[in-house]
Every structure is written in C-alpha cells, then in structure tokens.
Structure 1
Amino acid sequence: MKNLLPFIFCLLILVSCKQKSESEKVKALTSTSELIEEPIIEISESDYYEFLNDVLEDKTIIQSKTLEYPDLKNNSDYWREILTPLTEQSTDEKMSKILTKSDIDYIFTQFSTEKKLKLDFDKLKLDNVSDEVLKSVSDYLQSEDRTNKKKYDYFGIYNLTIPFFSQNKKYAFMQISIYCGQLCAFDGIEVYEFKNGKWKVKRTIGYYTMS
C-alpha cells in the first residue's frame, strides 16, 4: 500500500492539472467568443438610396430635400432605452437578440449634427416636387372637402431622418412620419431588416402615434 501512495499522489496531480487546463481552455474560448463581433461594414451613399427606395411608398412626397439624423445627443437615454431590449432574449422572436451592445455603440458613432444627406432624386424612385406641388398636396390632404378632384396624384407626405444601421448592415432604424390626410398619419421609429435582397419593415419601437 505504501508503494502505491506515490503513484496515487502523482495521478491526482495529473488529473488536477488536466482539469485546470481544460477549465482555462473553456475560459479562454469564452473570452474570445465575447470579443468576436460582427465585422463593421462601411456605410456608403448608395446604401442610403437602396434603403430609401425599398421602404418608401410610390406616389408619396419627401417633404425635405435634405435629411438629418435624429437628435441622439439630447435624447441618448431614450434611444438606449428603446434599443437595449433588442440585445436581449424576447418572447417576440422577430425582435429577439437582433442587436449587440456593440451595435448600439456603433449607432451612436454614426450620429453627427454636421452630417446631412442632400437627396439626389435621380437616384430615388420618388418625384422631386416643387414647393408649389407640395403645398397643393398638403392643402388637399388637410381639406375636409374631397369633392374637388385633387390636382396631383400623391397620397401622402413623408418627413424622414437619415437611417442608422447595425454593424453588419442587416438592420436599420429610421424615425419617420407620414401624413396622408385627416385621421391618416403615423409618427415613430421603424425597425427594418435586410432580407432576400430587400429592406423590409419589422416593427415599430419607442413611442409612436397613429391616426
């Protein structure tokens, strides 16, 4: 028995070292996986136009010829509040873990008070209408009397911001409002997904109004 003790002692040391080694491997792999994020794909001007052409309806008007970002600087708490749940497990499978915390940080890095997107309507499917046409359509939509035939064939007016994208450009977020007449309006933040080569709306997040 005494002769076996050194052997047993050595065996215990070997088992202990192996377990420690395996534990360190798991820890290292876990740390590595936590560091691995989706690669950041650069956002180009063409990405904005592809997005807008996919999500905007035909026969509508964009009110402003120049788009700006929503004010993340003064509304950072609100934006983090509505984006953070998208990094978590959810009963809504379509919205469950679609973002990472790095995505949220990346969205904030896109924000700039200086950056503006001056729209090139040659790259958009929507018409570049004059202020006169815009006013005429707006007056018609606000009018209670619809007996007169409308002068221009547009059913709504958009007010948009520059969209934000996730790091892999699979998801996008845009603050949008559309006015299409009395008791016909929407204002909110839309979540879009790039799927099968097209941008499609998934959900509305945050506070929004409909009428």
Structure 2
Amino acid sequence: MAFDNFYYCVLYEKKYSDYFLYQCILLWMCRKTKSSVTEQQPDSSAIHTISTLPDTNQYLYDFLKMVLADQKLQYSYGLSQEVKNCLYVESDEVYLSRFIITPPQTNPYDQNPSGVDSTKLIYNTDSSVSVNISAQLILNTLTLLPNHACLKKSDITYMMAEKSRLHNLKWNNQKTGFSLTNKNNWYTFSLPYFSKDKKKAFICIQSLCPGLCGSGDVLLYQFKNNKWTSQKVDSWLH
C-alpha cells in the first residue's frame, strides 16, 4: 500500500512537471512569435526621418529664385511643370560646345617677339639679299558678339550627366509661386546647367501665350566677386 502511494506520488509529480514544462515551452513560443511580428513593424522614428529628409533638388529652386528676381519675372504668369528639354534649337551638347574655352591661336608668321620675320631671299649662287617681311599679314576675325567662352569639355560632360539624372524632374509651383490659373501667359524653364565648379550656369526662360506668340532667352550666369551676374547669350521672338 505504501509502495502504491509512493508510485502514485511520483507519477503525479512527473505529470505535473511535464505539464509545467509544456506550459513553459508554449509561453516561450508565443513570446518568440510576438517578437518576430514586432520586429517586422516599421520604426516610427525611421518613418519620421524619411519624411523629413531634405529635398536634394532644393538647390535648383534656390538658384531659380535668384534668377526670377534678377529677370524681374511676373508672378501673375503661370508656369509649365514640364522642364524645357533643351537650351536652344540644337542639342545641348552641340549648343554648349560654342562656349568651350579654346587656346589662343598663334600667328604663323610670328617667329620672334618683335613680330618681324627676317627672311633671306636667294637670287643666285653668288649673292644674297636679306629683307624684312612684316609678319602682320593675317587680320584678326572681327567678333560681333562678346566672347562668352567659359566652359571646359569636362563641364559639358558633367552638365549632360546631371541632365540625365534629373530627367524625371517637374517644377513644383508651390516652391516658385507663379499663378495656378493663368492660361494666357506662362513661363517655361529649362534646368540650370551648372559647370563642375558651380560657378557658371546656363538656363533658358521662355515667356509664352496661346498660338505661336512668345519669346525666349538663354542666360549665362557667372559667380564672381561673391555674386551672380547674368548675360543674355541668345534671344528670340515667336
């Protein structure tokens, strides 16, 4: 009888310990599952960080704000969201190549600092005569327009790479402040084409109206003496 009671107690304790172990395993699995689900939830601080990241294209709008003030544009006009695809009628690479800095051409007749070429003319085998021939035989080409050469080939390569990077850009009128309702007069802007050193920039601005009326300018901005200065390098009327 005592042995039966002892056996019953051992069996009871074993069942209880097995049940307790089962409950512990079940609780651990539930916590593990909950932990996995929690890990898959996005971190609210990460969401906040993403939503408050700076606009990487803000520098375009900062430059544009300066251009708008410089050119005294009318904020009562509308603005096309579409970025003008090119500066001028040619491809941008061809157009911008006009502004490449080229080394000065030397006069082929300049053979000494004085600009005078002393040439010996042989008349016969017995005598020779030394004569001075002026080297200034080639006239410089008359430049009708100011010289705007300011780019290197590497600048144009950089400009084209930036244009490709920003090919999906559309102007955000909330950042420019033009009219949202004026359909009779509006502007179109190209991208600002910055040089590698960010000290030169080209931009095209068109002022348009229904039909074929309007005008356009290509502007060259150069950063000198801590400020931007502008020059019109091309203009046209429709």
Normalised to the residue count of structure 1, the TM-score between the two structures is 0.51
Aligned to 1:6: none
2:196 corresponds to which of 162, 167, 177: 167
Change (3 A) 1:68 1:187: closer
Q: After superposition, what is the alpha-carbon deviation per residue over 1:91-112, rounded to whole angstroms, capped at 9, x for unaligned?
A: 7997455222211221222222
How many residues are treated as equivalent by the alignment?
141
Q: Which structure carries more helix by proportion?
A: 1
Aligned to 2:94: 78
Aligned to 2:59: 47
2:168 corresponds to which of 93, 116, 120: 116
Pairwise CA RMSD = 3.8
Q: Which moved more, 1:194-203 or 1:171-180?
A: 194-203
Identity level (%): 26
Change (3 A) 1:111 1:97: same
Matched, 1:186 2:202: no
Q: Which moved more, 1:53-62 or 1:162-171?
A: 53-62
Aligned counterparts of 1:172 and 1:116: Cα–Cα separation in 2: 20
Aligned counterparts of 1:200 and 1:158: Cα–Cα separation in 2: 21
Matched, 1:103 2:155: yes
Aligned counterparts of 2:204 and 2:85: Cα–Cα separation in 1: 9
Contact map agreement 1:188 1:209 (CA 8 A) in 2: yes
1:142-161 correspondence to structure 2 within 5 Å = 157-161=186-190
Contact map agreement 1:158 1:176 (CA 8 A) in 2: yes
Contact map agreement 1:83 1:104 (CA 8 A) in 2: no
Q: Which of the two has higher C-alpha Rg? A: 2
Aligned counterparts of 1:104 and 1:161: Cα–Cα separation in 2: 16
Structure 1, gaps ≥5 residues long: 1-43, 139-155
Look up the equivalent residue of 2:237 and give its one-letter code: M
Shift of 1:178: 1.6
Structure 2, gaps ≥5 residues long: 1-55, 105-141
Aligned counterparts of 2:170 and 2:92: Cα–Cα separation in 1: 25
Contact map agreement 2:99 2:150 (CA 8 A) in 1: no
Aligned counterparts of 2:145 and 2:199: Cα–Cα separation in 1: 16
Matched, 1:210 2:237: yes
Look up the equivalent residue of 1:55 and give its one-letter code: V
Aligned to 1:59: 74
Q: After superposition, what is the alpha-carbon deviation per residue over 1:30-61, rounded to whole angstroms, capped at 9, x for unaligned?
A: xxxxxxxxxxxxxx512211111111234233
Shift of 1:80: 4.4
Shift of 1:64: 1.0
Contact map agreement 2:222 2:229 (CA 8 A) in 1: yes
